[in-house]
Structure formats: C-alpha cells, structure tokens
Amino acid sequence: MTVAVRESIANRTRGMLRMAGLVLVLTLAVICVATSRTVATGTPKTGHVTAVESAVGPQDAPSDLTPSLEEAGADQPSTYATGCHLGVPASEPVGCTSGSPAAPLDVVLFGDSHAANWHPALETLATRGDLHVTSHTKSGCPAHQVSDEYMTEPYPECATWREAVLTLIAADPPDVVVLSGLPRGTAAPVPLSEWTAGVAATVERLSVVTTVLVVADTPNFQVDPPACLSTGPVDATTCDRPRSDAINDEYAAQERAAAMAAGGTYADLTDHFCSDTCPVIQGNILLYRDDHHLTATFSASMADALGAVIASALAGP
C-alpha cells in the first residue's frame, strides 16, 4: 500500500469520526428538547423551550417580563452592537465568529435580519462549546437569490454582498450553513415563484460543498407586540395573533419543497412559537422586540431546538 493511499484512508477515517462526534453532540440537544418542559414563570431558561400550548383564560403580563417593554427594542443579537450585522450601504462581508475554532461543529449563519434572529441561539450553543459559528447577515438582504425590485430603493449592495459570501463559503466550507429569510422587501412582498426559485438557486449552489439547513421564517405581526403591551391591556393575550395571520403556510410549504429538491434540508420551528395562536409572551419571556424580529432573550432560549434540527440535518434522511 502506497503512502498516498494510506494517507487518503486516514483522512477519510478522521473525517468520518469527526462527523459522528459532532452529530452525537447535537443529538443530545434532540433528547433535551424531547424531554424538556415548557418555560415557566421566573428566571429565563436559556436554551430550553418546547412546543407552545394554547393559553387558557386571560393572562396579565408578568411583573418580571424579560426583556422589559422598555428594553425590548434594544434586546438584539450581539452582532448588531459590534457592527457584524451589516446595514444597507455595506457590500463587503465581515464574518464575525463565536465559539472556539476547536469546537466539534463549524456553522455559518447566512441571510438577512431574520437569519440574524437565530444568532443568539447559535451563540448560546457556541458558548457551551457545541459549535463554532460564523455570522454573515445583512439588513434586508436574504441569502436567497432574489432581485431588489421589492425594496423601496435599488439595493445593488445586496447582490454584491451575497455573491461574496457564497464565494467565501465555497472556498472554505463549514459543516453546515443555516439559512433563513423574510420573503418581503421594504416596498412589497417577494412573489412566491421568485422566492422559491431564489431558495433553490442558493441551496443548490451551497449543497455542492456542504450541508444546507433552511429554517422557516418566524411569525410576523401587524402590530408591534411591545407597543401593544405598552397600552396597558388588562389581558396581555389580546396582543396575541391567530397562527393563520402570523404565519404564511403557503410560502413555508413551497420553500420546504424548493430547498429539499435543491439538495438541502428544512426545519419549521413554528410549533415553538405558536399553537392555534401565536403568543407574544411565553412564561416570563417577551418573544418579539418589534413586529417581526425575535428578542435575543427568546432566541437564546431556542438553542436546544435549533441544535436539534442541525443534528437532524447532519444525520441525513
């Protein structure tokens, strides 16, 4: 047996052992999610939220609501304060990281501010040592290859940035890329046919080099939940919304089909947000900082749920 052949076999063996190890790490998250209980009133439980049950009767906002209504708008992913979540003018990727490069799993988060919704969950997993995450997010710029004609003004920086990130990922592929996005511009929604074509184009390109996980969009509200709660309703559940109003099931179904047909995987975590209705408070945690962004506190509490679907994506069909 030649030296080259021995090295090839050794490299493949190390790769298989590493992948088995990282799947085992995140499979523990699956067990945690399956056996955990719904968050109760009191100190927020980081990384530990299960499916939502329907509320029973009127409910007051808890006195220890976290974040408070006054702090909700500022309860953003850490990438906002550091400048790692890019604004509209930027076109060059920054790629900020969390966690140890020696962690068993290398993850890239890629997309718009709705992808950034998931950064606190990934950051929580990184802090535990479960993974290393590189964040590439930019306001109003989905990873999915759609045009900028649904924005209020032309947005050429988006396509430039998106292409640069795709090139970076291809040059140094992680173990998994996590994608999520809002199918709506500042001027109008992206038509379903264009959105799903854009999902397919991005997933197909990335799936050649890595595992791709598309996460369904989070709920959208017509009224800002913190503003609604600030009006002082006796019953905080009056700020909740029917699931059918907050979730676009047609987009989610077609997005799933497009992602999977292009070689990716798909996860819909809506049951962690909504039952028949989508509450704005779970236990003592405020879920939303505005009408369509999660609080960092709630996102961090979703770490186990997100870790579980990452493990599932890596394990394959």
Domain that holds residue 109: 3-315
The more confident residue out of 154 and 12 is 154
User: In sequence order, what are the beta bridge partners of 176?
Assistant: 107, 211
What is the tens place of the pLDDT at every residue in 201-217?
Answer: 999 999 999 999 999 99
pTM across the whole model:
0.85
SS3 category, 154: coil
Per-residue pLDDT reduced to its tens digit, 229-276: 998 756 889 999 999 999 999 999 999 999 999 999 999 999 999 999
Write out the H or E segment, with its range, that includes residue 163: helix 156-171
Cis bond upstream, residue 67 (ω within 30):
yes
Alpha helices in 98-153 (DSSP H): 113-116, 119-128
Count the domains in the chain. 1
CB-side neighbour CA atoms (13 Å) of 41: 7
Q: Are the C-beta atoms of 190 and 150 separated by less than 8 Å?
A: yes
Residues 116 and 134: beta-carbon distance below 8 Å: no
pLDDT of residue 222: 87
Question: Which has more pLDDT, 170 or 18?
Answer: 170
Do the beta carbons of residue 266 and residue 254 sit within 8 Å? no
| pLDDT score of 36 more than 80 | no
Averaged pLDDT for residues 38-67: 59
* Residue closest to 267 by CA, chosen among 252, 283, 250: 252
Residue whose entry in the numeric block shows the structure tokens 């990184």: 126
Do residues 136 and 90 lie in contact, with contact meaning Cβ atoms separated by under 8 Å? no
Q: Which residues contact 58 (CB under 8 A, 6 or more apart)?
A: 234, 235, 237
Span 125-173, pLDDT tens digits: 999 999 999 999 999 999 999 999 899 899 999 999 999 999 999 999 9
Beta strands in the chain (DSSP E): 85-86, 96-98, 106-111, 132-138, 176-180, 211-215, 241-242, 265-267, 277-278, 281-282, 285-286
Residue entry with tokens 């987009």: 251
pLDDT over 70, % of the chain = 80
CA pair distance 243, 23, nearest whole angstrom: 32
CATH of the domain at 86: 3.40.50.1110
Report in angstroms the alpha-carbon separations of 262 from 112, 167, 176, 177, 181: 21, 18, 15, 14, 17
- Per-residue pLDDT, 140: 95
Mean pLDDT of 178-190: 94
pLDDT of residue 27: 46
Residues 6+ apart with CB under 8 A from 121: 47, 299, 300, 301, 302, 303, 305, 306, 307
Q: What is the pLDDT of residues 267-302, one digit of tens each?
A: 999 999 999 999 999 999 999 999 999 999 999 999
